Amino acid sequence: MPELPEVESIARGLRAQIEGARIEAVRCALPDLLAEGAECLGERVQGHTIRAIQRHGKYLFLLLGGGLGVALHLGMTGQLLLVPRAAPADRHTHLEILLARRSRKLAYRDVRKFGRMSLLESGPEGLIRRKRLGPDALLIEARQLHGALQRTRRSIKACLLDQRVIAGLGNIYTDEVLFRRGLHPACPAAALAPAEVSGLLRTTRAVLRAAIERNGTTISDYVNARGEKGRYQQKLLVYDRKGKPCRRCGTPIARAWIAGRGTYFCPSCQKGQD
Ligand SMILES: [Zn+2]
């Protein structure tokens, strides 16, 4: 599933290409893609200019001015691509945004169809409030995160995955960050001292930035707006490495069900479970 680095890579690829473009028409072949109340999305955004492309957590926003815009969550397998205007839509392309006087159009592909698009009427802030999203993982302050972790009895992995605590992390980057900090994913979040939370956040940002530099991680479907796969999968230390030797100590990497997700960790290097 696309996480913060993948969505940021898509946003960066689109900024240079479609900021300033005017939306000529929206074609939607899958009404379920549009969140409730967004049936009129095409009519409302038609004729407006894309002024900015922003991201919060795993959400991407096309901002049109006056609070109007389009929010997109890629779900499991969503792809937002810039393709030649004349390119035919395949059976997984559910929505197209035609751009006036541009040789390319935006195409939304989604094999598993868990992605959702919605109309923004009061900017990204309205959606962030409605979805109760926490601060973005690249912007959250250590004391904010420490405060949130103090108020729960959940594991550190469950908290990092919770978009209301910190927005942007999913299963891959959470496992990578916890391995690099030597923290067991089932460790109680409230047990972390302020200095440990600061360190955790430093590592989180370093991992996310390195992944953005490499255009994200492609395990299955993710590609950026130009259709290119990510290259961070070559840098993964634990994710998807069950049974392979830990890159630090040689112990086989374990996979266990933690916080409702298949979780990879090194049983020797990662401590802190009660
Ligand atoms: Zn190890």
Q: How far is the CA of 268 from the centre of ligand 1 (A)?
A: 5
Please list the active-site residues. Answer: 2-3, 58, 261
**Per-residue model confidence (pLDDT) at position 273:** 66
Q: How far is the CA of 270 from the centre of ligand 1 (A)?
A: 7
**Per-residue model confidence (pLDDT) at position 32:** 85
For the chain, the first-to-last Cα distance in angstroms comes to 30
Q: How far is the CA of 26 from the centre of ligand 1 (A)?
A: 50
In tens digits, what is the pLDDT along the chain, a chain of 274 residues? 899 999 999 999 999 899 999 999 999 988 888 887 677 899 999 999 999 999 999 999 999 999 999 999 999 999 999 999 999 999 999 999 999 999 999 999 999 999 999 999 999 999 999 999 999 999 999 999 999 999 999 999 999 999 999 999 999 999 999 999 999 999 999 999 999 999 999 999 999 999 999 999 999 889 999 999 999 999 999 999 999 999 999 999 999 999 999 999 999 999 876 5
User: Which neighbouring-strand residues pair with 165?
Assistant: none
Rounded to whole angstroms, the Cα distance separating 105 from 269 reads: 48
Could you tell me which residues come within 8 angstroms of residue 197 by beta carbon, excluding any fewer than 6 positions away? 142, 145, 146, 149
Q: How far is the CA of 209 from the centre of ligand 1 (A)?
A: 24
Residue linked to tokens 């690099």: 180
Q: How far is the CA of 266 from the centre of ligand 1 (A)?
A: 5
Rounded to whole angstroms, the Cα distance separating 53 from 76 reads: 21
Rounded to whole angstroms, the Cα distance separating 134 from 186 reads: 21
CA-based R_g, the chain, Å:
20
Is there a contact between 30 and 90 (Cβ–Cβ < 8 Å)?
no
**Per-residue model confidence (pLDDT) at position 133:** 98
User: Which neighbouring-strand residues pair with 254?
Assistant: 265
Rounded to whole angstroms, the Cα distance separating 44 from 118 reads: 11
At residue 61, the 3 state secondary structure works out as strand
Residue 193's nearest CA partner among 179, 207, 181 is 181
